[in-house]
Each structure stands twice: as C-alpha cells, then as structure tokens.
Structure 1
Amino acid sequence: MDNFEKRQQLAPFVNLRSDVGFKAVFADRNNKDILIGVLNQILPPEARIEDIKEYSDREQRRDVPYGKKTVLDLVCVDHDDNTFIVEMQASEEDYFFERCVYYASGLYHLELSDGERYKGLHPVYVVSFLNYSLRHDDESLWDTDHFISYWHFTEKRTGIVANQTISVIFVEMTLFTKTLEECVTEFDKMFYIFMNSGGFLKIPEWIEKTGGISRRLAEACEVAAFDKEKKLKYEIDKMNEWDIQAQKEYAVRKGLEEGRQKGLLEGRKEGRKEGRKEGRKEGLEQGLVQGREEARLSIAKKFFEAGTPIDVIVNCTGVDNEIIASFAHPD
C-alpha cells in the first residue's frame, strides 16, 4: 500500500487510544487547557493543576547521569514545580511498573543541582493511560467504575502515606465499558470520548450540548481542524505506525511458521532416533521448544532488519537487547 492510499484511509477523528492520536492532541500546546482538564479529572486533590509553565514533548530535557537516555511522550511542570509525565501505552509490556518508576526517578533526581538541599525536591507524577488491563490479584475489585489505580509510598502496617515524592497512576481504559446512556458525569463522558473518538465521523450532538472539557476534547480530535504542519506530521506518524504494525505482523507470522516447521522436523528426527513412543513424544516436545526459541529469534531479527527500534523489538519479542544488537555483526 503506497502513501497516497494510506492518506485516503485516515479517519476523520484521531484515536485517543493510539500513541499517535494521543500525542496529536495532548502534545499540542494549543490544547494545554484540555490536558489540564483531563488530568484534573484523574489526579488526587492535592495534585490538581492550575496552570502549566513548562511543556516538553517527547524527549527528556537532560540525560539521566546514571542511566540511559529516556524518551517520554509528554513532560510538563505546573506552577508549584510538580512534574507530570503523561503517556499513552498502547500495548502490554513486561516490567512496565518498573519502567514508570525508573522514568520518574530520573526526573526526580534532576530536580536538584550541586549544593542544593533536599527540600528543593518536588513531587513527580506518572500518569499512564493504558489501552489494556493490568493483572490484579483480585479482579473483582476492578471494573468500569474502578479503573484508575494510584501507587505511592506507604507504611505497610499503618497504611500511613509518606510525603509525596514519586506517584504512579494507571488509567486502564479498556475497563471502561459504559454505554453513552450510562454516562452521567463529565468524567464518564470524557472517557467515553477516549474509548470512541476513533469512530466519530463528526462531533456528536450530545457533545455539542454537553460543552466543557468533553467538547474541547472532541474538537481537538478532529483531523480536519489541524493546521497544515500538524496534519502533515500526523499523517507521517500514522504511516510510520502502520508500517511498524505491518512489520510486526509479518515477522510474527513468518517466525512462527519457521519455528513450527523446524520444531516438527527436529521432533520427528529425535523420535525416530529413540525408536520408542516415549522417545517420539519427548523429541517432539524438545523440538517444539527449540523451534519456538528459534522462531522468537527469527522474529526479532526480521524486526531488526526492517529498521525497528531495539527497545520496540525487546518489548515485542522478549529477546535480550544484546542479542538483538549482535544482529548487526553476525559471526
């Protein structure tokens, strides 16, 4: 599919649950009021935002001295010097909570310069919108009315909450399943738009009547309202998103098929060698395991050859980044 055909398939409204759509709306400084309005529906009362004085899109402003460079969707600082990391996580990945803490601690660390005292530190909040559901010990506690979780430091026995330092907030949007008729509050209507914006053909009449943050959010999703520069960037980002998805799907199909065929072949060979039913079964199992591992490596290699970023390959395949890097220098 060429670029012209892809442009013809752009939906009239962005999908807020995609990385590209989310950034098109919330990384636009002209939509600062929308970002503040949405965050204030989610943040605890003590963290509510009056205004944003710093607004950084995509890359962390300075490198963390003790670690790798961090790429973030959006970082903003309010007038109380609280820092907010806001991101859309479109697909599940391992150790996601640890990654959020790592990002937050990097920014928390950077708040002090040499010689400054700890009283100069201000809270850092990570707000992650998830297009999937987390795994919970008790799933019955999480539903369409309870899909936002707040994580911070507490004393285990008493439950006393420590002074605010680093907080992580997860918004599990797929748990929100209310119909339009069930949406009564502004909060409900806002998340109904999050879940359904990609299917809008025009701004629905009920949003026009509702007004407020819901109307502003819906208006900001309309692609036709983008200026020329923003629309071009959005189209390029969407095409890149489609290309990466196509590469991923092809690599998975190809790798699984190669792994299955090789696993079956190894299993049959091992089974014949043993000459017993038990041997055949064990050989098949061993071959399939080996085949799956080789399939995983094959998928990762195809991603690498297609130019997919290493961190994306690690998240999609679970293959260690050192192994992926070695593809550039085969023996």
Structure 2
Amino acid sequence: MKFISPKVDYAFKKIFGSEQSKEILISFLNAIIYGEEKIIQSLTIVNPYNPGQAMTLKDTYLDIKAVLADGSIVVIEMQIARVSAFSKRVIYNLSKAYSNQLGIGEEYLSLTPVIAVTITDFILFNQTSDVINQFVFQEKTKKIEYPDVELQLIFIELPKFNKNLSELNSLSDKWIYFIKEAATLDTIPDSLSEVSEIELALNIANQAKMTVEELEIVDRRGIMLQDEKGRITYAEEQGRIKQSIALAMRLMKKRFGEIPVAITSRVEDLSLKQLESLTESIFDFESLQDVESWLEGR
C-alpha cells in the first residue's frame, strides 16, 4: 500500500478539499484551531476538488477555502518552498478574504471572522520551537487582545515536528504526522486508524484508489515543487556566497590595499565554506603572499 504525499498541494486539495472531505477538514481544523474541542460541527467547502474536472499543472489556486456554520471563513494553504515575500502574501490573502465579503454599500456588521491556516515545509519562526503558532491583533505592551477577533493567522511548521508514531499524544500530533509522513507509510498504523477521519484521509491518499491521470498530475506537480524548492535553495546559497565574497574582499582591501585581479578571481571561485574560513583567517595573514599561499592550499 502506497500513499501520495499530502505535502504536494494538488494532493492536499484532493484529501482535504473534496466533497467527501468535510469530516476530515472538520476534524483537522478543530484539532489545529480549537485545541481538539469540537467547535466546528459543519462547514461548506468552497470550490471543492472535483475528480471529474481534474486540475492541471497550470492551475495556481490550490488552496482550500471553507465557510463554517457561523459564517466564519477559513483559508488553508500548503506551502513546500519559501517564496519571495511569502509572509506578506499570507497577510494579503487573509485581508482579501475578509474585505471581499462586502459589496458596495453593505454594512460592516455583516463581516465575519477569517482564519488563515498555513502549513509550511520550512521554518518561519526561529524564535520558538513550537510547531503551531497562532497570531491575533493585540496591544503591543500589555498583550490585550483586540475586541473583535476577526483575523487570525495560524502556522504549522512541519520541519519542527519530530515525533514518531509511538509519541503521538494528541489529535493535532496525529494530523501533523499524517501530513508530514503519509508518503512513507506502507500500511495504516493503528494509532492513526483509531481516528476515523485520518483513516478516511489515508484511504483517499491511497494510490491504488486514484486514476492514472491523477497519479501523473500528483507526480509531475511534486517534481515541479521540489524543483522550485531546489531553485530557491540554490538562489539563497548563491546570495550568501556573493555576500561572503564581498566581505572577504572588503576585509583584505582594508588590510592590504588594492587586491590583484588574480587573487580576486581565486576568491570568487571559493565555496561558501571556504569563504567563511578565509574571512576568519584574514587577520592572521601578514601579507598578500600569505593570502596567495592560503589560496594555493585550496
């Protein structure tokens, strides 16, 4: 038995955003937003995944939007790779979902809360080891919450979650484990099957129950997203290399004056690790000849 990875946005929408996914989404949102309290009893999935109208790689809007019984709107997004201005985009989408509720001349009283649940396969908040972080408006120093809790941002950072099956104590643990590890499973574990909604999610994710077309799209989109993640990682590393070269050249120029083109060329060919080592060694050098000797050894 093999399962598609819920981390692929297309697969995520099939699992959590199909017409048959309502109970799955209710269980997941109650676990993540409401600490496992069964606050959400019903919801409507907006623009649900439809296997008869399979999405293609050209489709860009693969987020899930649900309207709760009280009119509150929840927008759920799975993001594998960090993109430029990602944190701003999340706020923009939250604000857009809130403001789009009103037509011209309509009363503000008709506005309902909006919650953005964002799952990332990268770390956003290095200041905390918490896997789930929730943000609301509050007074800066006294931490008094704004009277109307209209807008909430909830983030789930998958790399911070390191529990194995035997360590899953809560419903939120089990849902996060499912999202992160489903593709590594070859059977449905007892600790997950005891939650009927997760068992249903795994059955939807079962590759044996998917069409050839769906599997091809999931596979191609997964490759595309991993390529994008690799491209971003490469760009970030190149940016760090460029900064390290500039720093090393600035320090050498300050210590020895003008740097010959031959040395500059050699420095520009160094790896990031070598550049960091060079920067640390510069103040141990007595002359440019020492720099050249150091470079010869690399």
Q: TM-score, normalised by structure 1?
A: 0.63
Question: Of 123, 129, 132, which residue of structure 1 is paired with 2:119?
Answer: 129
Question: Of 145, 154, 166, which residue of structure 1 is paired with 2:138?
Answer: 154
Structure 2 unmatched runs, 5+: 50-59, 242-256, 271-298
Higher relative contact order (CA 8 A, sep 6+): 2
CA distance in 1, matches of 2:117, 2:13: 14
CA distance in 2, matches of 1:248, 1:128: 17
CA distance in 2, matches of 1:194, 1:248: 18
CA distance in 2, matches of 1:181, 1:201: 17
After TM superposition, give the deviation of residue 214 of structure 1 in Å: 3.0
Q: TM-score, normalised by structure 2?
A: 0.69
After TM superposition, give the deviation of residue 118 of structure 1 in Å: 0.8
- The code of the aligned residue for 2:29 comes to L
- The code of the aligned residue for 2:183 comes to G
Aligned length, in residue pairs: 240
CA distance in 1, matches of 2:104, 2:84: 35
Query: Considering only CA atoms, is the larger Rg found in Structure 1 or Structure 2?
Result: 2
Q: Which residue of 2 aligns with 1:232?
A: 213
Two-structure CA RMSD over aligned residues (Å): 3.4
Q: Which residue of 2 aligns with 1:56?
A: 47
Residues 89 and 129, structure 1, Cα contact 8 Å, conserved in 2: yes
CA distance in 2, matches of 1:217, 1:113: 37
Equivalent runs, 1:105-254 vs 2, <5 Å: 105-136=95-126, 138=127, 141-142=128-129, 146-162=130-146, 163-208=148-193, 210-226=194-210, 228=211, 232-243=213-224, 245=226
After TM superposition, give the deviation of residue 12 of structure 1 in Å: 1.8
Q: Which residue of 2 aligns with 1:317?
A: none
- The code of the aligned residue for 1:242 comes to I
Residues 74 and 116, structure 2, Cα contact 8 Å, conserved in 1: yes
Q: Which residue of 2 aligns with 1:279?
A: 260
* CA 105–288 in structure 1, closer or farther in 2 if over 3 Å, else same: farther
Residues 20 and 238, structure 1, Cα contact 8 Å, conserved in 2: no
* CA 47–77 in structure 1, closer or farther in 2 if over 3 Å, else same: farther
- The code of the aligned residue for 2:185 comes to F
Residues 118 and 154, structure 2, Cα contact 8 Å, conserved in 1: yes
1:140-187 Cα shifts (integer Å, max 9, x gaps)? x41xxx311111211112211111222111001221111222223333
* CA 15–83 in structure 1, closer or farther in 2 if over 3 Å, else same: same
* CA 282–126 in structure 1, closer or farther in 2 if over 3 Å, else same: farther
Aligned sequence identity (%): 24
Structure 1 unmatched runs, 5+: 1-10, 59-69, 261-275, 290-331
